Amino acid sequence: MSGRKIWAAHLALLAVLFALQYILPPYHATNLARVMVLALFATGYNLAFGYTGLLSLGHALFFAAGMFAAALPAWHYGLGAGPALLLAVLGGAGMALVTGLLALRTAGVSFMIVTLMFAKAFHLILIYFNQWTGGDQGFALPAASRELAGQALSQDGPRFLVAWTLFSVGLLVCLALVRSRFGRVMVAMRENEDRSRLLGYNPYRVKLLVLVISGAYAGLAGGAWAILFGYAGAGFAEIQYSILPMLYVLLGGAGVVAGPILGAAAMFWLVELAAELTSAWLFLVGAALVVLVLFAPKGVLGWVRARFWRDLP
Amino acid sequence: MTAAALALTASGLSLVFGVMRVVNVAHGEFYMLGAVIAWFVTTLVPGPAWAAFLVALVVAPVAVAALAALADRLVLQRLNYDPEATIVATIGLLYMIQQAALTFYGPDARPVAAPFEWRLQLPWFGYSGYKLFVVAAAALVLLALWLFMTRTKVGLVMRATQVDREVAQAFGIDVDLVYMAVFGIGAALAAVAAVLIVPIQQAHYLMGHDPLLLSFIVVIIGGLGSLRGTVVAALVIGLSDGVISMFFSPTLAKILATLLVALVLVFRPQGLFGGREK
């Protein structure tokens, strides 16, 4: 399949997402904005896990780092939304750089535990300095910091637009990245690290770069969450927020560009649906993880790729 | 006292990792289940507190072991014990067990009556006799575990499987059965620790988190998969925990411990107590 068709398919997906804000009732349109921010987060996770094979259990660290990099200056110094989002990207990427420098010395199970531990430590730090960070209760962002180009982001229209724009940029950058030469090197790291080292690539540097990019995605998503929905709290650094992007990626299809948005949307509305029947939504998350790992490790789009569309990126 | 319960929980985790190379993230939930089942048993069984407690001490580990063995058979075995997939699956188990406990047991912390009230009265301070009993019982269980692993045929089979899975299979050992048993025993150890501790701390559906973190710390510091290192590390950390929290706030102590463990894994993956290189 030609490159043009692949780009057309992804642009069509973005167009459909954009159109949905006029079709869906307002309540669900806001939910879609949430889903797109979560999918942005999961797209970053997909770059690390799906393409490069870095199974991290600490992405909440980058999400929360971005969130607080944006929200703390906004709260304490009244920083505007634009610079705050920029800080969020830097916060997530910087945190990923520091984490990666240390954690990438390990691999496999050790890498998972080390990233888990770092995320846990950051969560505890946020709670420890609670007079600065709001701790477990968190804080609401001032309205002045939730304005972009004169538009209040607490309103449905602008909020949806910002979420959609950020997600679109994230998706297209991801698509361009995985179709580039560097994208092939990433997959080579996942498939056979020894062989790619033999071919002259430095696995440590490739993985570090991917982790930093992934952290930048996560940080941007965290900052966007705080600014769009007006709340930041230490709870976002909890293990759950490392597990969720993994779940979205696994469900939608690891190593597929459009996997995270599909997984995020499916899981979000599944939980929403279940919430009407029972409060036990964590049970659903747990069961989904087990079932996916057992019966469908490739996810929905992974299956589509295997059966119908061989070169879906 | 904390050290004793910690040693039990952590040796369960260590045993599972040692033999099966599986990092069981749901280990803390098996601990929590042990405590919750103990509460159910002690409220349901009539008679004196010590009798109900003894029943709980038998029922809870057996039930938890059965559940763990079932989970192993239904989930982990089908994954061929792929390290990363099993972590994801045990995270799923963690959420399922935790949520099930919340649904059926509720969000409250509930106490379990101690089997006996007796204080050791020393001239300068009194000491709860039950805490001494916990230490003694934990030591007894650990000794039994050690004897079981080193002196019995089943223990030999388990250690053989640990050293080389394929060769063990070639010698006619049913590896799947061994793994099921090991996973069950590991979970049962956590449950025993929980039953012993529950008269002192109350049973709560989120109580699995701290022991999980501490067990990870202990197992990593002691060297992954080394049972002796685990017990030593549990004693050191369990005892120093009290000392550290005198100087620092508990949160700060946890932050330092967590970072320390992560750094140990990065720079000395074989553990501080010098396990052999893999």
What is the helix (H) or strand (E) element at residue B77, kind and residue range? none
Separation CA A201–CA A190 (nearest Å): 13
pLDDT reported for residue B267: 81
pLDDT reported for residue B245: 64
Across the interface, of A114, A124, A280, the residue whose CB is closest to B99 is A280
pLDDT class of A46 with cuts at 50, 70, 90: very high
As a whole number, the mean pLDDT across chain B is 79
pTM recorded for the entire structure: 0.84
In a domain, B168, yes or no: yes
pLDDT reported for residue A210: 93
pLDDT reported for residue B276: 46
The highest-confidence range among A147-161, B231-245, B258-272, by mean pLDDT, is A147-161
Residue of A nearest to B106 (CA): A280
The DSSP bridge partners found for residue A231 are A140
In a domain, B253, yes or no: no
| Residue B247 pLDDT > 80 | no
Q: Which tops the pLDDT comparison, B240 or B52?
A: B52
When pLDDT is averaged across residues A237-251 and rounded to a whole number, the result is 88
Q: What is the pLDDT of residues B176-234, one digit of tens each?
A: 888 888 889 889 988 888 888 888 777 787 787 777 777 777 777 776 667 777 787 77
| Residue B242 pLDDT > 70 | no
| Residue A264 pLDDT > 60 | yes
Q: Two tokens at B7? A: 């040693």
| Residue B67 pLDDT > 70 | yes
Confirm whether the ipTM is greater than 0.85: no
Mark yes or no for CB contact B249/A128 under 8 Å.
Answer: yes
When pLDDT is averaged across residues B86-112 and rounded to a whole number, the result is 83
When pLDDT is averaged across residues B103-132 and rounded to a whole number, the result is 70
Q: What is the pLDDT of residues B127-155, one digit of tens each?
A: 667 777 888 888 888 888 888 888 888 88
**Single-letter code of the amino acid located at B188:** A
Q: What is the pLDDT of residues A129-177, one digit of tens each?
A: 888 777 778 788 877 777 777 777 778 888 899 999 999 999 999 999 9
Separation CA A181–CA A54 (nearest Å): 19
In a domain, B24, yes or no: yes
Q: What is the pLDDT of residues B160-171, one digit of tens each?
A: 887 777 788 788
Do residues A102 and A131 make contact, with C-beta atoms less than 8 angstroms apart? no
Q: What is the pLDDT of residues A68-113, one digit of tens each?
A: 999 888 888 877 788 889 999 999 999 999 999 988 888 777 888 8
pLDDT class of B273 with cuts at 50, 70, 90: low
In a domain, B265, yes or no: no
Structural domains in chain B (count) = 1
Q: Two tokens at A140? A: 């609401």
CA angle A95, A98, A99 (to 5 degrees): 80
Helix (H, G, I), strand (E, B), or coil: what is residue B201? coil
Closest CA to B166 of B91, B80, B242, B235: B80
Neighbours of A240 (CB within 10 A): 14
In a domain, B275, yes or no: no
As a whole number, the mean pLDDT across chain A is 86
Minimal CA separation from A17 to chain B, in Å: 30
Domain that residue B184 falls in? 2-207
> Which segments of chain B does DSSP mark as H helices, in order?
2-20, 27-44, 49-71, 83-105, 129-151, 153-163, 165-170, 175-197, 209-221, 227-247, 250-267
pLDDT class of A271 with cuts at 50, 70, 90: confident
DSSP per residue, A213-247? HHHHHHHHHHHHHHHHH-EE-GGGGSTHHHHHHHH
In a domain, B120, yes or no: yes
Across the interface, of B96, B258, B266, the residue whose CB is closest to A124 is B258
Mark yes or no for CB contact A283/B95 under 8 Å.
Answer: yes
In a domain, B44, yes or no: yes
pLDDT reported for residue A40: 94
**Single-letter code of the amino acid located at B235:** L
> Is B203 buried (19+), middle (13-18) or exposed (0-12) by CB count in 10 A?
buried
**Which of A55, A104, A290 should one mutate to test binding to chain B, selecting the residue with the greatest count of B CBs within 10 A?**
A290
| Residue A65 pLDDT > 90 | yes
pLDDT reported for residue B278: 37
When pLDDT is averaged across residues A178-202 and rounded to a whole number, the result is 85
pLDDT class of B277 with cuts at 50, 70, 90: very low
Strands B126-128 and B119-121: antiparallel
Separation CA A251–CA A214 (nearest Å): 19
* Chain B contacts to A (CB-CB under 8 A): 23, 75, 78-79, 83-85, 87-89, 91-100, 102-103, 213, 216, 220, 249, 251-252, 254-255, 258-259, 261-263, 265-267, 269
In a domain, B274, yes or no: no
pLDDT reported for residue A59: 92
| Residue B22 pLDDT > 70 | yes
